[in-house]
Structure 1
Amino acid sequence: MQNPVPILFFTLLFLIFLHQSFAITTTYNVLNFGAKSDAKTDSAAAFFTAWSEACASTRPSLVYVPQGKFLLNNLQFKGPCNNKAITFRIDGTLVAPANNNAANWLAFEEVDGILIHGGILDGQGAALWACKKSGKSCPSGATGLVIWDME
């Protein structure tokens, strides 16, 4: 009869590795950090805090933006992060400030392995284009989304 100890040992080792490969994702819902979905209140600080916690985590992370309209002034999501498994999921709308006077509205920099999907980016360009059509002196407008130095 074979010794069952090696079989049990390798089975246990396999289960441990299998469990680690299905690591649980930590969700950072921007509402839990004070974001307001009213399209009027600047939620940049709440988004930045949710991002900072996801970036600092060593576990797979999800920054979650639920349905609603979230006003965001200029915001930079910067790495490097402690993990390469961050998902930025947008089920709502990100709304730019109405003044159209920012160089870069949303920027991701040095964040390897990020997945960004879903949602709507509302740069509020209609007022800017109406101003430009009128021939008045208008702001230059903002670059909506900038992605730098990422793999």
Structure 2
Amino acid sequence: MASAFWTLEDGRGFARRWTGMKNMLELICEELKDLDGAELFYDYLKEFIYREDEGDIYNGFGGFIRNGENIMFNFDLRTFTPENRKFFWEAAQKALAKVKVQNEEKNWWIDYALTTLLDMHKRINKGEDPMALNHMTIVKPKPNEKVGPGWK
């Protein structure tokens, strides 16, 4: 059952178990750190990476506890700057390409998840109805919140 949710640019949701989101975020951040200009966004997002070897503890509902603070895998891409969203999608595409090149049977699920995420993004760019492919039963309204680096 899904326990972590990412809201995309048109309000549709992408959902997975927390472990899937954890692994996807690790792969995306791995690619993000090598993108020119994405350093500050990488520094921001890497704080959402679960590190059991550093004492992080799964919280039981889609995130983890680090130093007494609950950190959730949920975020709304619309709260990031347009430039950071561009970096996110580029890193996701690079992560998928790397998974496909590795072509390991054990990674079928991450291939599927990244492919689905990027398919959603393609559908957003085409102006498709968000409910045509949405892991939530609603389209979330646009937030007023702005998070991460780059906002002025």
TM-score (norm 2): 0.22
**Which has a greater percent of strand?**
1
Structure with the larger RCO, 1 or 2 (CA within 8 Å, 6+ apart): 2
TM-score (norm 1): 0.23
Larger Rg belongs to: 1
